[in-house]
Each structure stands twice: as structure tokens, then as C-alpha cells.
Amino acid sequence: MNTLNVSSSLSTQLSTPSSVKQNDNVTNINVADNANHTSSTRVSISAEALEKFEKEQQEIGKKLGEQMIENQADKTETEPQDSEITQLNKLIEEVKEQIKEAQRKLTELQYDKSTQAEETRKLLEAQLLTLTGTLIELIDKKMKAIEKLSG
């Protein structure tokens, strides 16, 4: 047998078996005001009512479980997109750093008129074009991921 303690805040919980007594399809339940611990009331409910109450509790538990599963599913759907955006942000920052480094090297070679410096400048300029294209592509992917995430 189970005891059904009902507090003044309308919360319910099962507790010690000694407080519930069943006689002729009637269950006696001790109800105490847990907030004040001062008063106690004896309530009798039928076995059918207790069974109905237990079924309602099971239904509520089932609904809450389904909601939790749905919430987890929603999180797992958005987390990959969030992680995709995070990865794109990291890649964008890396490409920006590579662009800055190439620009710094070009600046260093600015006054060098040698053939080797000229070839290095051409390679750095080609690298800058490639990096800029990569940066634009990454930013485009990031925007699409953000649009997908927002709906």
C-alpha cells in the first residue's frame, strides 16, 4: 500500500505505506500541511478514485517524457548547426589570419626590386586572391547555416 501525502502547494508524492488503509473499497489517506507541519486531516477515497488518480499520474508522466524526448530532438537538430557555425567561424578566423600574414609579407617585399622578390609578390598576390575567395565562400556558408537555424 502507498501513502499519498498532499501538501498545501498541491504537490503529490508517494511515501510510507503505514498511512494508507484500504477497507471495503475505500482508502484512508492522511493529508498533512507540509508547509506548516501543524495540522493533519484524514481523507477517504475509493479504490476507483485512487486507481483513476494513479492512471492520471501515469498519463502526465508519459506526456512529460514525450515532451522531454521532443526537446532533446530539437536540441540535437540545432546543435549540429550550432557546431557547424562554430566550425565555420574558426575557419573564417584562420583564413583572415592567413590573409593578414600574406599582406604583411607583401608589405615587407614592397621596396625589394629583385627578381626573386617579384616572383614572391606574384605568389603572395595569387595566394591572397585564393584566400579571399575562400573567405567569401566560408562567409556564404555561414550565412546559409544561420538562415537554416533561424527557420
All 3 cell numbers of residue 3?
A: 501513502
Distance CA 36, CA 34 (A): 6
All 3 cell numbers of residue 142?
A: 555561414
Q: What's the pLDDT at 91?
A: 94
15's enclosing H/E stretch is strand 12-15
Q: What's the pLDDT at 116?
A: 92
Q: What's the pLDDT at 109?
A: 92
Other C-beta atoms within 10 Å of 8: how many?
12
Residue 43, strand partner residues: 29
Q: What's the whole-model pTM score?
A: 0.48
pLDDT in tens, 54-72: 888 777 776 766 676 776 6
**Residues 34 and 13 sit within 8 Å (Cβ to Cβ):** no
Q: Tell me what the pLDDT averaged over the chain comes to.
A: 74
**Residues 55 and 63 sit within 8 Å (Cβ to Cβ):** no
pLDDT in tens, 19-45: 445 555 555 555 444 455 556 667 677
* Residue 106 phi, psi dihedral angles, 5° rounding: -60, -40
40's enclosing H/E stretch is strand 40-46
